[in-house]
């Protein structure tokens, strides 16, 4: 009997020793990687089992050892693919269910549809927070959610680890979402209450301290890309960062880098980062998000003299963002919902609002009634932006005048909570305000004229054929084509000229009414073994055929490089900004691929065979 009791004690201790008390949760997904984090109540090693079949988790990845705070970077994944996973040490002790899965990101620059869910000021640990999450999951149904944004004040009242545990990761009715939906956070002033306590002398808020010294539970919990692992530009900090998803660029900023001494040190470093990041951004849509909004008349009034952070974001940060023709800015802090018209250049108090100077479009942006906002990607000017405040995803407020002139729609009141949903497909962005009662109360659409005017120089071996595409990227699903000379009305035509020629196609996007022209200069030449080598095409691919490793050399700096399969689908996209690079494409299936390089002198193409 004693031996049986002793065995029971040992067994019970082992089970208890491997209890997961936080997570697992997902961070920083890319096309080929993801980070999985969790907490145990006693130290163990860190292992993740994963695979595309929930019954066959045959691949493993390991992380830190003998720890309660587990972080595992899973690598070698395929883009835009669903994986299931489990966590453990020597054996599995968590996950391993139908709700433990993740998706890798699609190729950057691709036209895949995506859904973004946005919540702000949610970490109250209350029924409103749970209702907001449940309303979204119910409304969303079986649709895939790709990006989850946090707007700050993620854990009340002070952003302590215990606040995050009880009101976020351990909150029954809310925490079940973490096993399958990665979040991309931004901190708020409540998250920074503990950051200031742990980072500054006497815990004085908004002290002028180096950004590298910002410490606290928020920064311990998150694992965001600091080296542009998910696209964007390296920030070298978790204080602010950026990432790409499909054809959208996201910029997570930090309003809490303001300092009351008004030295501008933190703000100026953030401005420098914005310039570095957005100057190289070529995505179709750009979305910035941070905590304290530039405009609000809710629980916080951006006109109040003591709202120094809101004023500074409006006066210092918004002009920089708008100089890069930002599309959408989403914030929290004010515990209401507010959504602006399409506006620009309004950097003062509300009484300085002048529609003649600041209002780009005074419509409600409703697509169904023909009022969608339309912008142009390729005209170098500020076409205006839409501003959203969504700070009531757990918090609520019935005060405030709710009458800031930039806003087209607003909502608040006792018991009124909600979230914000962004749907993007090709050149269309739809924003929707989802109340916690499951109803859409406001929506708007931004359409983007984003079909590039192509001028491609290519070579064709004498006696061979070539497929020309009028549109390689951009535009909607409602395009019309007319090729000069032969009257063809399809996107693609096949040419097999015996002499050099120029082919031109006129393109109309009926969604935005954009009209553009694509031109191909095709030079026919004699080839050796059907391999094109011409001074007319100043970049080289080798070896060709390749088994996956490809070296690329150009006579000029390669500004962008796109790789498309034989069906014209984008499978790789990068912005090298150098003239020599190496690619590993062994994850792609064998076949014929087109490499398109944009140099300062033009856009050029070469074909390459990937061998098995």
In this predicted model, what pLDDT tens digit does every residue of 290-323 receive, in sequence order? 999 999 999 999 999 999 999 999 999 999 999 9
CA distance 32 to 275: 27
Rounded to the nearest 5 degrees, what angle is found at the Cα of 375, between the Cα atoms of 369 and 377? 145
CA distance 348 to 354: 10
Residues contacting residue 82 through CB under 8 Å, at least 6 positions apart: 52, 101, 102, 103
Residue 400's CATH number: 3.60.21.10
Does any domain span residue 381?
A: yes
Does any domain span residue 285?
A: yes
Q: Pick the range with the lowest mean pLDDT from 9-13, 110-114, 157-161.
A: 9-13
Q: Under DSSP, is residue 92 helix (H, G, I), strand (E, B) or coil?
A: strand
pLDDT band at 526 (very low <50, low <70, confident <90, very high): confident
Same domain, 133 and 97: no
Quickly count helices (H) and strands (E) in the chain: 9, 37
Residue bearing the bigger pLDDT, 43 or 379: 43
CA distance 115 to 133: 15
pLDDT tens digits along 62-71: 999 999 999 9
Residues contacting residue 543 through CB under 8 Å, at least 6 positions apart: 549, 550, 551
Same domain, 294 and 397: yes
Where in the sequence is the domain holding 575, given as residue range(s)?
538-612
Does any domain span residue 401?
A: yes
Does any domain span residue 533?
A: no
Same domain, 474 and 596: no
pLDDT tens digits along 171-204: 999 999 999 999 999 999 999 999 999 998 888 8
| Residue 465: predicted pLDDT | 83
CA distances from 18 to 176, 418, 552 (A): 19, 37, 49
Residue with tokens 């190496």: 582
Same domain, 436 and 489: no
Please state, as a whole number, how many other Cβ atoms lie within 10 Å of the Cβ of residue 477.
12
Residue 66's CATH number: 2.60.40.10
Indicate if the pLDDT at residue 429 is higher than 70.
Answer: yes
CA distance 529 to 436: 65
| Residue 602: predicted pLDDT | 79
Q: Under DSSP, is residue 190 helix (H, G, I), strand (E, B) or coil?
A: helix
Residues facing 443 on adjacent strands = 432
Q: Pick the range with the lowest mean pLDDT from 12-26, 81-95, 375-389, 420-434.
A: 12-26
Same domain, 294 and 230: yes
CA distance 609 to 612: 10
| Residue 536: predicted pLDDT | 55
CA distances from 521 to 183, 459, 462, 468, 562 (A): 46, 8, 15, 11, 19
pLDDT band at 17 (very low <50, low <70, confident <90, very high): low
CA distance 484 to 77: 44
| Residue 124: predicted pLDDT | 98
pLDDT band at 528 (very low <50, low <70, confident <90, very high): low
Indicate if the pLDDT at residue 15 is higher than 50.
Answer: no
pLDDT tens digits along 443-487: 999 999 999 888 888 877 888 888 888 887 899 999 999 999 888
Domain endpoint, select from 483, 506, 528: 528
Residue bearing the bigger pLDDT, 174 or 572: 174
Beta strands in 462-496, from DSSP E residues, in sequence order: 466-469, 479-483, 492-495
- Residue 498 CA, distance from chain mean position: 46
Domain endpoint, select from 528, 557, 580: 528
CA nearest neighbour of 336 among 398, 292, 420, 385 = 398
pLDDT band at 577 (very low <50, low <70, confident <90, very high): confident
pLDDT tens digits along 72-109: 999 999 999 999 999 999 999 999 999 999 999 999 99
Domain endpoint, select from 471, 500, 528: 528
Same domain, 459 and 477: yes
The rounded mean pLDDT for the chain is: 92
Indicate if the pLDDT at residue 1 is higher than 50.
Answer: no
Q: Under DSSP, is residue 1 helix (H, G, I), strand (E, B) or coil?
A: coil
Same domain, 444 and 460: no
CA nearest neighbour of 163 among 195, 131, 209, 186 = 195
- Residue 318 CA, distance from chain mean position: 19
| Residue 537: predicted pLDDT | 66
Residue bearing the bigger pLDDT, 528 or 102: 102
Residues facing 520 on adjacent strands = 456, 503
Residue 586's CATH number: 2.60.40.1930
- Residue 426 CA, distance from chain mean position: 15
Same domain, 187 and 45: no
Same domain, 366 and 430: yes
Does any domain span residue 32?
A: yes
| Residue 531: predicted pLDDT | 44
pLDDT band at 379 (very low <50, low <70, confident <90, very high): confident
Instruction: Output the six-digit token pair for 318.
Output: 């918004």
Give, as one character, the DSSP assignment of residue 590: S
| Residue 532: predicted pLDDT | 45
Same domain, 94 and 121: no
pLDDT tens digits along 201-226: 888 899 989 999 999 999 999 999 99
Residue with tokens 């909502």: 411
Average pLDDT value for residue range 18-26: 95
Q: Pick the range with the lowest mean pLDDT from 10-14, 124-128, 188-192.
A: 10-14
| Residue 542: predicted pLDDT | 83
Q: Is the sign of the CA dihedral 349, 355, 360, 361 positive or negative? A: positive
Average pLDDT value for residue range 242-263: 96
Residue bearing the bigger pLDDT, 589 or 335: 335
Average pLDDT value for residue range 522-532: 66
User: Quick one: residue 393, left, alpha or beta (phi over 0 = left, psi -120 to 50 = alpha)?
Assistant: alpha
Task: Say how many domains are in the chain.
Answer: 4
Same domain, 38 and 74: yes
Does any domain span residue 391?
A: yes
Please state, as a whole number, how many other Cβ atoms lie within 10 Å of the Cβ of residue 363.
14
Instruction: Output the six-digit token pair for 167.
Output: 């009101």
CA nearest neighbour of 473 among 501, 452, 494, 445 = 452
| Verdict on whether the full-model pTM lies above 0.85 | yes
Q: Under DSSP, is residue 358 helix (H, G, I), strand (E, B) or coil?
A: helix
| Residue 13: predicted pLDDT | 39
Does any domain span residue 147?
A: yes
The values of phi and psi at residue 430, to 5°, are -115, 125
pLDDT tens digits along 390-399: 999 999 999 9
Same domain, 266 and 302: yes
Indicate if the pLDDT at residue 417 is higher than 90.
Answer: yes
Burial 510-522 (b: 16+ CB within 10 A, else e): ebbebebebebeb
Residues facing 361 on adjacent strands = 342
| Residue 412: predicted pLDDT | 97
Does any domain span residue 239?
A: yes
């Amino acid at each position: 009997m004693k031996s049986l009791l002793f065995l029971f004690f040992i067994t019970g201790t082992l089970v208890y020793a491997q209890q997961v008390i936080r997570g697992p949760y997902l961070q920083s997904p890319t096309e080929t990687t993801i980070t999985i984090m969790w907490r145990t109540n006693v130290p163990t090693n860190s292992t993740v089992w994963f695979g595309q079949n929930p019954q066959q988790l045959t691949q493993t990845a390991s992380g830190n050892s003998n720890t309660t705070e587990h972080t595992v970077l899973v690598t070698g994944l395929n883009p835009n693919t669903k994986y299931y996973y489990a966590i453990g040490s020597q054996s599995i002790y968590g996950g391993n269910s139908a709700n433990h899965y993740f998706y890798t990101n699609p190729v950057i620059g691709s036209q895949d549809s995506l859904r973004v869910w946005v919540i702000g000021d949610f970490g109250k640990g209350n029924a409103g927070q749970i209702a907001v999450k449940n309303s979204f999951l119910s409304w969303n149904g079986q649709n895939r959610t790709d990006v989850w944004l946090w707007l700050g004040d993620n854990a009340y009242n002070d952003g302590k680890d215990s606040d995050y545990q009880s009101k976020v990761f351990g909150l029954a009715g809310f925490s079940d979402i973490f096993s399958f939906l990665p979040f991309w956070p931004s901190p708020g002033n409540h998250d920074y209450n503990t950051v200031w306590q742990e980072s500054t002398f006497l815990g004085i808020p908004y002290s002028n301290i180096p950004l590298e010294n910002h410490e606290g539970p928020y920064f311990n919990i998150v694992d965001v890309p600091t080296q542009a692992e998910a696209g964007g530009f390296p920030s070298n900090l978790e204080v602010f960062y950026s990432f790409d998803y499909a054809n959208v660029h996201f910029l997570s900023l930090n309003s809490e880098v303001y300092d009351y001494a008004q030295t501008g040190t933190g703000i100026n470093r953030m401005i420098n980062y914005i310039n570095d990041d957005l100057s190289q951004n070529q995505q179709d849509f750009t979305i910035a998000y941070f905590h304290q909004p530039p405009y609000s008349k809710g629980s916080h009034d951006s006109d109040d003299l003591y709202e120094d952070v809101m004023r500074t974001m409006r006066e210092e940060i918004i002009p920089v963002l708008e100089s890069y023709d930002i599309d959408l800015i989403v914030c929290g802090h004010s515990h209401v919902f507010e959504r602006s018209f399409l506006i620009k250049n309004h950097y003062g108090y509300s009484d300085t609002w002048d529609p003649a100077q600041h209002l780009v479009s005074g419509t409600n942006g409703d697509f169904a009634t023909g009022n969608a906002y339309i912008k142009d990607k390729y005209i170098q000017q500020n076409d205006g932006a839409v501003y959203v405040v969504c700070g009531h995803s757990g918090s609520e407020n019935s005060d405030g005048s709710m009458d800031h002139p930039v806003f087209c729609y607003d909502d608040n009141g006792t018991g009124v909570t909600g979230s914000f949903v962004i749907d993007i497909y090709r050149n269309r962005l739809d924003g929707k305000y989802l109340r916690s009662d499951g109803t859409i109360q406001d929506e708007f659409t931004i359409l983007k004229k984003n079909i590039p005017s192509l001028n491609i120089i290519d070579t064709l071996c004498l006696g061979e054929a070539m497929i020309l595409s009028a549109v390689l990227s951009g535009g909607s699903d409602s395009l019309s084509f007319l090729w000069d000379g032969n009257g063809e009305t399809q996107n693609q035509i096949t040419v097999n000229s015996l002499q050099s020629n120029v082919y031109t196609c006129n393109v109309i996007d009926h969604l935005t009414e954009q009209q553009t022209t694509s031109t191909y200069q095709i030079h026919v030449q004699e080839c050796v073994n059907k391999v094109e080598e011409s001074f007319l095409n100043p970049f080289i691919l080798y070896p060709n055929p390749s088994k996956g490793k490809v070296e690329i050399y150009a006579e000029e700096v390669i500004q962008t490089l796109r790789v498309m399969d034989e069906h014209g689908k984008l499978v790789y996209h990068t912005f090298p900004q150098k003239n020599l690079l190496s690619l590993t494409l062994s994850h792609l299936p064998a076949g014929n691929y087109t490499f398109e390089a944009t140099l300062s002198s033009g856009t050029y193409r070469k074909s390459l065979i990937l061998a098995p």
